[in-house]
Amino acid sequence: MHWWHIVLLILICLAASALGLVWLCAYTAKKVLHPVSKRKALYLWPDEYKMPYDNVYFTTEDKVNIKGWFIPYDGAEKTIILMHGWGMNRSDILKNTYFLHDLGFNLLYFDFRALGESGGKVSSIGYLETRDVRAAIKYLKETRPESCKKIGLYGLSMGAMVAICEGASNPQISCVAAEASYYSFRRVVSRWAWVHHKVPSFPIIPIVLHYIRRDLHVNPERYSPKYNIGKIAPRPVLIIHGRYDSIVPAAQAKLLFKRAGDPKEIWLVPGAKHNKCAEVGGFEYKQRLSDFFRRYL
């Protein structure tokens, strides 16, 4: 074999490797933005906790149909909007937060776009989902103004990111409880890709983020909680996070807490993994969440 044959073979191998790398990055970006396999059916409803409820429907500014539940408390003028995480639906957080209704609050649950029973095919781990919560607030103001004179937000994981962003930009929000929130979009995509698919951060993730920015026509990193949590003050923030969270390490919760203004609280739940704070925290979880909303809403 001549030397130029060897050079040509090496170039072909490098080109194939580069194409394979590009394909892997595009595939990973698609898995993040198009979570078809993550859409699952509801399995729990408010009447199982003896709470009457209304099925509600509203449409976002970009014409995505959102479906949820409104759980009224007779005569209540305060509403908590509760938001689930990526790959989840409203049933997943109902079981851990329904007790807030007994405190005298109306509750509004809804499925984010591309998940649960809501429309849409694209999930953005937060950026597009801020449109969903804005549509939820608009729906409340237009159809039930007497029930939402004060509004509090609770979010889990992706929902926590949305709660932080909406709390930062909307002065009508009285308080924000953020559980298992990520610190930055770049970090959470990198961590998710490694934990679930063993995709290394370098050189893969910068290319993955390029495809995500291209498909969304925006840089979602700019909407990360680290840039927004400080804008919520002087309205209060409660940060809840599992000490053993492998998807979003507890160090990120500490960084968010430092950036938040007063009044602020943080609880790192011993032994809890990602999205498991309620399960592990038990009575103390209910007590801390209840005390927060009773005090500030």
Structural domain boundaries of the chain?
Answer: 34-184+224-296
- Report the predicted TM-score, pTM, of the whole model to 2 decimal places: 0.85
**110: its two tokens:** 């809804």
Tell me whether the omega of the peptide bond preceding residue 35 falls within 30 degrees of 0, making it cis: no
CA nearest to 117, candidates 36, 58, 40? 40
Per-residue confidence (pLDDT) for residue 211, from 0 to 100: 58
Using the structure block, give the residue that is written with the tokens 């149909």.
65
Poorest-pLDDT segment among 23-32, 109-118, 273-282: 23-32
Burial of 233 (0-12, 13-18, 19+ CB in 10 A): middle
224 or 265, higher pLDDT: 265
Residues paired with residue 71 on neighbouring β-strands, in sequence order:
107
Q: What is the mean pLDDT of residues 29-55?
A: 82
> Does residue 164 register a pLDDT over 90?
yes
Q: How confident is the model at residue 17 (pLDDT cuts 50, 70, 90)?
A: very low
Per-residue confidence (pLDDT) for residue 233, from 0 to 100: 97
- Per the CATH hierarchy, to which homologous superfamily does domain 34-184+224-296 belong? Alpha/Beta hydrolase fold, catalytic domain (3.40.50.1820)
Amino acid at the residue 82: L
The pLDDT tens digits of the residues spanning 167-217 come to 999 999 999 999 999 987 776 666 665 455 555 555 666 666 665 666 666
Per-residue confidence (pLDDT) for residue 39, from 0 to 100: 84
Buried b (16+ CB within 10 A) or exposed e, 133-168: bbbbbebbeeebeebbebbbbbbbbbbbbbbbbbbb
Q: Please, are residues 141 and 205 in contact by the beta-carbon 8 Å criterion?
A: no
> Does residue 67 register a pLDDT over 60?
yes
